[in-house]
A = this chain, B = another copy of it.
């Protein structure tokens, strides 16, 4: 068959190659469980298999596809493998993959309402839908002065929260003259590293970050926060932002929102709630207790791209008042002026984020919410929470292992009672086997295994097999 390489694919070629790739992906998801979760490659191995120079003449798509098998797949850590338990789940469900395809194929820009009205309006709409599904406070809905927006990641949401917080705290000085008064940002010692990254990016410097100590469940101690804020105020430092975490990366610790919000007091520092991993669990009513007090927060985010069946990137970020965010980020050159914007009747999401351009990300979330429905989403969450609870019971019953943190959702943290070295060696043995993949953290100084259960394909048999592999490896002579 004639090939168009070097020239544009014809629609018929796109159809043919597209069908081939869809089939390849269906096969990949069918066989991913048989692949080693982590590849056995060393730095440089993948590059060594690639031609040193780009091709002068176009190549056939079939050759590209076969290199996926020969060069790329052997170099991947397979996040969609049912025995991938590392970091966090990275759900890439069928409907979300197809939603991303639709967005790429339409190739429209959502930086302004005018640049493609449906991109903006669907986004606002599905964020209202998602807020309803999670039973978020009404102040985050778009009919209020707040509303939601999709960010690439919780890191960017935290940065945007900080920028809005600074804008509010300095009454606009931040965007015009810069700030000469010292500002402070507060988060628990277990908060995500993106808080420090945001503090650096915004130019406050790491010294401006106050890491508040945590209780025995790794949750922020409100009384310590209150003390630190009071001390800073006494020193002439302006408290700017408090980040409370609902579900820390290390151990799913839940900072107490209501007590934290009462310290912020509405007039004080901006309260941002980072529920990147855990927030989506609120589709199931029994998990909504973690959000108690959220109606007092200024902003909130959670990541459908972790555990709500939506492929990366898709972070949902809501603010209770959009004005400070827009004041911080809105720059309107002539070439971006539109009648709809000037009339104030339309949302221009470019002013809600760091970049200017925007993909049609809402499409994949819309596909997911419609394909699964509230019912399907609840079942998805409950399935993994039940598996994690069962795994936790096995850990508790085993003489050599010990849980190192409570298991409120889908993450099980545990260690070998022989200590750090033994636990770290165990992890390496297990990951080297290719049969499963775990990551680690430190809790209260102890080296801890993290087993995050949330893969689209992860079933009881995979968790059981992982536990079998763990206990078997632990029983071998060291």
Q: A11, A28, A80, A192 — which one has the most chain B CB atoms within 10 A of its CB? A: A11
Complex CA gap A74/B390 in Å reads 49
Whole-angstrom distance from the CB of A193 to the nearest CB of chain B? 4
Residues of B within 8 A of A346 (CB): 43
Give bound CA distance, A332 to B95, whole Å: 34
Q: Is A139 an interface residue (CB 8 A)?
A: no
**Whole-angstrom CA separation of A159 from B25 in the bound complex:** 36
Residue of B nearest to A205 (CB): B178
Residue A439 at the B interface, CB < 8 A?
yes
Q: Which of A104, A129, A180 has the most CB of B within 10 A?
A: A104
Determine the chain B residues whose CB is within 8 A of the CB of A464 once the complex forms.
none
Stretch at the interface among A85-93, A255-263, A465-473: A85-93
Q: Is the CB of A118 within 8 A of B9?
A: no
Chain A positions 1-33 with a Cβ under 8 Å from a chain B Cβ: 5-9, 11-15, 17-19, 21-23, 25-30
Contact of B334 with A441 in the complex, beta carbons under 8 Å: yes
Q: Whole-angstrom distance between the alpha carbons of A313 and B125 in the complex?
A: 23
CB-CB < 8 A to A312: which residues of B? 107, 109, 357, 359
A50 touching B122 in the complex, CB below 8 Å, given contacts A102-B25, A204-B203, A312-B109: yes
* CB neighbours of A434 from chain B (8 A): none
Can you name the residue of chain B whose Cβ is closest to the Cβ of A96? B104
A277 CB to closest chain B CB, in angstroms? 12
Chain B residues with CB under 8 A of A44: 121, 345
A19 and B19 within 8 A (CB)? yes
A114 and B53 form a contact (CB under 8 A) = no
| CA of A95 to CA of B240, assembled, Å | 46
A78 to B179, CA, bound (A): 42
The closest CB in chain B to the CB of A27 belongs to B11
Q: Which of A267-275, A368-376, A399-407 contacts B (4 or more CB under 8 A)?
A: A368-376
A-B pairs, 3 with minimum CB distance: A92-B107, A75-B118, A9-B94
Q: List 29 A-B contacts (CB under 8 A).
A: A8-B93, A9-B94, A9-B371, A11-B29, A18-B25, A43-B121, A45-B121, A46-B117, A55-B369, A57-B374, A61-B95, A76-B108, A77-B114, A77-B115, A77-B117, A79-B108, A86-B115, A87-B109, A100-B101, A153-B356, A155-B357, A166-B203, A175-B200, A175-B206, A176-B207, A177-B206, A197-B331, A312-B359, A313-B355
